[in-house]
């Protein structure tokens, strides 16, 4: 636990996020006179830095604790070419704001100062600079919609947020592609539908989703589907006058359900919602150990246009380590089966930075995927949640057990380019290995529209099922969320409340 003492609580989220980008293993906490902290470890702990927000000057004092911790990183001979905070005397950095403290320019200025101070102190820069949000392409997209040129967007990302040239190019490239794809959709009048099936064959070590092992829950899956059916029917009544653009069944692993259950679910959806306008219908068939020919046929015959068969890695030892409980051969067989059933848009997800994996392992995974020749490749950079089994594994085995690097990211990007794929959506998560990003690549006419819509927050996504989060996008640019409970038993018991939450959101 690392304590940042401050005379104000402001920018707590950004300070924590920037620190965690430099030091993923840190658990930073701000301690200010008005903070409501009761944890004695924070109240009585030794701070690593001290912040003082004054009227005309902000100071950041790096204390002994910080020097000791950051030295452990061992990366101190890097030479920065842009280090200008307003100065440094001893271990104190200064910034003299020129904007009023209640403006976003002040906040951006502070983030820049805090980030550059850490660059100076650690000798490192980060690919996304001081950006802490999960949707950097949204900045580029919004500026494009305001009529700004590529150069203006690049200058903003470079100067205000210190984003690297490579990531600036990626963000603008993706935003341009997204804008083109969305221009063919009437997304303002429409909505999309997400349905969550929170069951999987087993729980992966790194899982941060709502997922329960299906064997343990077998007796309650029927009850879950009954509750979901009720949510489907009643929610459909709320959007009768709207156009359904895309449908996405995810989870969990929807193909953990039996072929009969899948058939029932698809029938229920099609009876309740008007599928006549649907442009894309995705089902995640993620885990190869859940896929059968019968299930794939049910999906195909019911109009599913896009599926995912996710290896995550093509290295068997890693699959065993992360608890996937399927083999590389099963992934290949499932992929070929899906092609033979007729699927012409198959995505494969991989994760870079998995424990113990090297650049050679990433290259091997990419080569094995190229042999299969999917239509889309989604490249994730490992994000570790402390509460996940992987978080505990890393604590036991040391944080250096996993790593993602520029070289590994480059291997994946080149591999996608070799398959004629282009990057078309991008998002970031907290605690990502190497502070990189997740990127979806696809061939020209295979871009996943739902992925863009949810990422750029362009239209309402109605989300049904345990743990699903509905996002209402309103004409006045308001974005509001309502969340279903994650716990399956609670979801079943409180289904009327889940429906009521959505009714209130959509009517608000």
- The smaller minimum CB distance to ligand SF4, of residues 18 and 319, is found at 319
Site for ligand SF4 in 353-392 (CB under 6 A): none
Closest approach of Cβ 467 to ligand SF4, in Å? 10
488: exposed, middle or buried (C-beta count within 10 Å: 0-12, 13-18, 19+)?
Answer: buried
Report the distance separating Cα 204 and Cα 248, nearest Å: 22
Site for ligand SF4 in 277-306 (CB under 6 A): 286-287
Question: How far apart are the two ends of the chain, measured CA to CA in Å?
Answer: 41
Q: Is 217 in the site for ligand SF4 (CB under 6 A)?
A: no
- The smaller minimum CB distance to ligand SF4, of residues 23 and 393, is found at 393
Closest approach of Cβ 325 to ligand SF4, in Å? 9
Report the distance separating Cα 385 and Cα 264, nearest Å: 35
The interface region with ligand SF4, picked from 156-164, 246-254, 269-277, 362-370 by CB under 6 A, is: 246-254
- The smaller minimum CB distance to ligand SF4, of residues 168 and 225, is found at 225
- The answer to whether the Cα torsion of 79, 83, 89, 92 is positive or negative is negative
- The smaller minimum CB distance to ligand SF4, of residues 175 and 204, is found at 204
Enumerate residues 6+ apart whose C-beta is below 8 A from 71: none
- The smaller minimum CB distance to ligand SF4, of residues 89 and 387, is found at 387
- The smaller minimum CB distance to ligand SF4, of residues 204 and 452, is found at 204
β-pairing verdict for 438-442 and 422-427: antiparallel
8-state DSSP, 465:
S
List Cα–Cα distances, 364 to 122, 206, 329, 348, 377, in angstroms. 33, 21, 14, 15, 15
Q: Which of 109, 129, 196, 252 binds ligand SF4 (CB under 6 A)?
A: 252
Q: Is 311 in the site for ligand SF4 (CB under 6 A)?
A: no
Closest approach of Cβ 351 to ligand SF4, in Å? 9
List Cα–Cα distances, 506 to 42, 194, 501, in angstroms. 41, 15, 9
- The smaller minimum CB distance to ligand SF4, of residues 238 and 321, is found at 321
The interface region with ligand SF4, picked from 98-106, 135-143, 202-210, 335-343 by CB under 6 A, is: 202-210
Q: Which residue has the tokens 């200058």?
A: 155
The interface region with ligand SF4, picked from 206-214, 397-405, 430-438, 453-461 by CB under 6 A, is: 206-214
Closest approach of Cβ 322 to ligand SF4, in Å? 8
Q: On the CB side of 100, how many CA atoms lie within 13 Å of its CA?
A: 2
Percentage helix, strand, coil for the chain under 3-state DSSP, each rounded to 5: 45, 20, 35
Cβ(319)–Cβ(326) below 8 Å? yes
Site for ligand SF4 in 108-127 (CB under 6 A): none
- The smaller minimum CB distance to ligand SF4, of residues 253 and 433, is found at 253
How many residues at the interface with ligand SF4, by CB under 6 A? 11
Report the distance separating Cα 452 and Cα 447, nearest Å: 9
- The smaller minimum CB distance to ligand SF4, of residues 164 and 431, is found at 431
Q: Which of 203, 272, 302, 429 binds ligand SF4 (CB under 6 A)?
A: 203
Closest approach of Cβ 213 to ligand SF4, in Å? 8
Cβ(397)–Cβ(446) below 8 Å? no
CA 200 to chain centre: 20
Q: Which of 42, 63, 69, 207 binds ligand SF4 (CB under 6 A)?
A: 207
Enumerate residues 6+ apart whose C-beta is below 8 A from 186: 243, 245
Report the distance separating Cα 264 and Cα 247, nearest Å: 16
Q: Which of 21, 125, 211, 404 binds ligand SF4 (CB under 6 A)?
A: 211
Residue closest to 131 by CA, chosen among 100, 168, 101, 184: 168
Q: Is 253 in the site for ligand SF4 (CB under 6 A)?
A: yes
Taking only Cα atoms into account, the Rg of the chain, rounded to an integer number of angstroms, comes to: 24
Residue 3's SS3 state is strand
Closest approach of Cβ 36 to ligand SF4, in Å? 34
Closest approach of Cβ 126 to ligand SF4, in Å? 26
Q: Which of 26, 106, 156, 209 binds ligand SF4 (CB under 6 A)?
A: 209
- The smaller minimum CB distance to ligand SF4, of residues 130 and 388, is found at 388
The residues binding ligand SF4 (CB under 6 A) are: 200, 203-204, 207, 209, 211, 251-253, 286-287
């Amino acid at each position: 636990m690392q304590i940042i003492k401050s005379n104000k609580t402001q920018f707590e989220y950004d300070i924590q996020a920037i620190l965690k980008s430099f030091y993923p293993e840190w658990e930073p906490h701000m301690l200010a006179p008005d903070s409501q902290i009761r944890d004695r470890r924070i109240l009585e702990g030794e701070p690593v830095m001290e912040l003082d927000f004054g009227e005309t000057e902000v100071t950041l004092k790096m204390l002994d604790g910080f020097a000791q911790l950051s030295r452990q990183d061992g990366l101190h001979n890097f030479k920065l070419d842009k280090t200008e905070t307003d100065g440094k005397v001893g271990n104190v950095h200064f910034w003299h704001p020129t904007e009023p403290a209640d403006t976003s320019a002040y906040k951006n200025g502070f983030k820049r100062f805090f980030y550059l101070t850490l660059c100076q102190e650690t000798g490192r820069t980060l690919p996304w600079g001081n950006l802490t949000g999960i949707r950097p392409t949204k900045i580029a997209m919004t500026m494009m919609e305001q009529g700004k040129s590529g150069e203006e967007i690049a200058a903003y990302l470079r100067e205000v947020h210190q984003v690297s040239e490579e990531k600036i190019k990626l963000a603008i490239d993706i935003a341009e592609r997204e804008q083109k794809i969305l221009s063919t959709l009437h997304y303002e009048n429409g909505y999309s539908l997400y349905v969550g099936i929170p069951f999987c064959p087993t729980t992966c070590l790194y899982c941060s989703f709502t997922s329960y092992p299906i064997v343990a829950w077998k007796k309650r899956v029927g009850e879950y589907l009954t509750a979901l059916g009720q949510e489907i029917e009643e929610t459909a009544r709320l959007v009768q006058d709207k156009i359904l653009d895309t449908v996405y069944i995810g989870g969990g692993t929807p193909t953990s359900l039996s072929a009969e259950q899948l058939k029932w679910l698809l029938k229920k959806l099609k009876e309740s919602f008007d599928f006549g306008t649907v442009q894309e219908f995705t089902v995640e068939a993620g885990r190869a150990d859940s896929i059968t020919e019968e299930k794939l046929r049910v999906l195909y015959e019911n109009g599913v246009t896009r599926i995912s068969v996710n290896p995550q890695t093509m290295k068997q030892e890693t699959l065993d380590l992360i608890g996937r409980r399927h083999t590389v051969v099963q992934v290949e067989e499932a992929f070929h089966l899906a092609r033979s059933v007729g699927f012409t848009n198959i995505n494969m997800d991989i994760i870079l930075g998995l424990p113990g994996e090297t650049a050679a392992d990433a290259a091997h995974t990419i080569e094995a995927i190229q042999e299969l020749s999917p239509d889309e490749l989604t490249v994730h950079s490992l994000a570790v949640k402390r509460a996940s089994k992987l978080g505990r594994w890393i604590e036991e085995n040391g944080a250096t057990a996993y790593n993602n690097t520029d070289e590994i990211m480059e291997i994946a990007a080149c591999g996608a380019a070799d398959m004629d794929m282009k990057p078309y959506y991008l998002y970031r998560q907290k605690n990502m290995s190497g502070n990189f990003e997740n990127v979806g690549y696809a061939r020209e006419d295979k871009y996943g529209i739902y992925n863009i819509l949810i990422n750029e927050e362009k239209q309402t996504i109605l989300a049904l099922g345990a743990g699903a989060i509905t996002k209402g996008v309103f004409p006045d640019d308001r974005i509001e969320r309502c969340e279903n409970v994650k716990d399956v038993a609670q979801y079943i018991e409180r289904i009327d409340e889940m429906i009521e939450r959505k009714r209130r959101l959509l009517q608000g």
